[in-house]
Structure 1
Amino acid sequence: MKNTYTQQFLGFVKTLPLNLDKKASEFNYTNPVLILADAVLSMNRKYEAFVVPRIKHIEKSNIVSLNQLNTIITQGGIESFAHVWNYSDPKRVEILLKLTQRFLKLKEQYGLSDDLETLHKWGKEAKPKEWVMFGVKGIAFTTFQYLRILCGGNTIKPDIHIKRAFLEAVGKNRPLEEIVEVIEETATYMNLQAKQLDYALWSFYSKK
């Protein structure tokens, strides 16, 4: 085991009554707009109560491409986007816009024509250490990791629930990057996808 805490965390996880078969519906988005909106809306908000209703609201708008989203925000203005996701928060709209433009640039760099393919390529190839260079103000490390998951990456999102699980397991806090490493290694030893273990831990601890 590469990390000294992995064995300790593995032993702890095996004592928990986790539902490892349940899968998150948001892992299977086919609309790239919903992927980015979910990541931005999820920052420091309760998922089921806050994010899900707004994702459903966006679905009704029939915005299905990043170019569409970019045009709607840039031409309509930051403030007017509130009705699209039923939420008035200019700062989050700005983050969503910058994120959209970042992926449109990546799409061009990759030489791809499909938004979803672009997001999936990035999600599977991006590494935790690349967060600093990602270049979207407002996207902290935890959101960066969640975005990787939504884009098809096999990793974990070290939010408050995952950090609580880690603290209970090893008795101390560690840097977020190290928590990611430990839980990814643990998932490998359990023959699970990291995001599968992440979701099981999140589901368990968010209800405690």
Structure 2
Amino acid sequence: MTATVRKAIADLVRGIAPHDASEEHDRQLALDWIDSGAQLHRTAKPDVPPMHLVAYFAVTDSTGAMLLADHLKSGLLLPPGGHCEAGELPWDTVRRECPEELGIDAVAAAAFGPRPLFVTVTRTRDPHGLGGIHTDVSLWHVVRADRDSITGFDRNEFSAVHWLTTGQIQALPLSGLDPAMHRFAAKYQHRLGQAAQDHGSSV
């Protein structure tokens, strides 16, 4: 990985305005990790190195509802996403993974653009006893799509997909979601409202 890529990733993380103390903590953890010179991208599945970069993308429609998928390996309801490959910036990962997982091109939501909205540092789960537990440093993006444009999904990754409002997401037990999902939904809804007031942006 080049110094240019490392700096670009650090700049993306520094550009995230934390929504709460937990995100501020994870943002600083991520920056310290990046600045340490550690290998950021996964080099071998599932856990080499044991801490590596991930790009989530929350697909949203014109109403602000969000697509979540039943993830086979984790057993959780998650946004789509994937591990960043060597030399990739997170938005490059989104652009690669979105067609692979949902059959659509990634279009950044107008209110947010291609920069990440949210950052988390999370230990993965191993519900099937397969091993390979590791730590994901995840940058969360927001993608815009029409519901009827998604006619399928990668059945090697997901068993089903669902469109949910942020209120419905926050009403679900956190045990079945990414540990930060409620917080992400709250930040997304808050920033969406700010963007609409400030600029009249569409979702």
- TM-score normalised by length of structure 1: 0.27
Look at both structures and tell me which one has the larger radius of gyration over its CA atoms: 1
The structure with the largest strand share of the pair is 2
Q: TM-score, normalised by structure 2?
A: 0.28
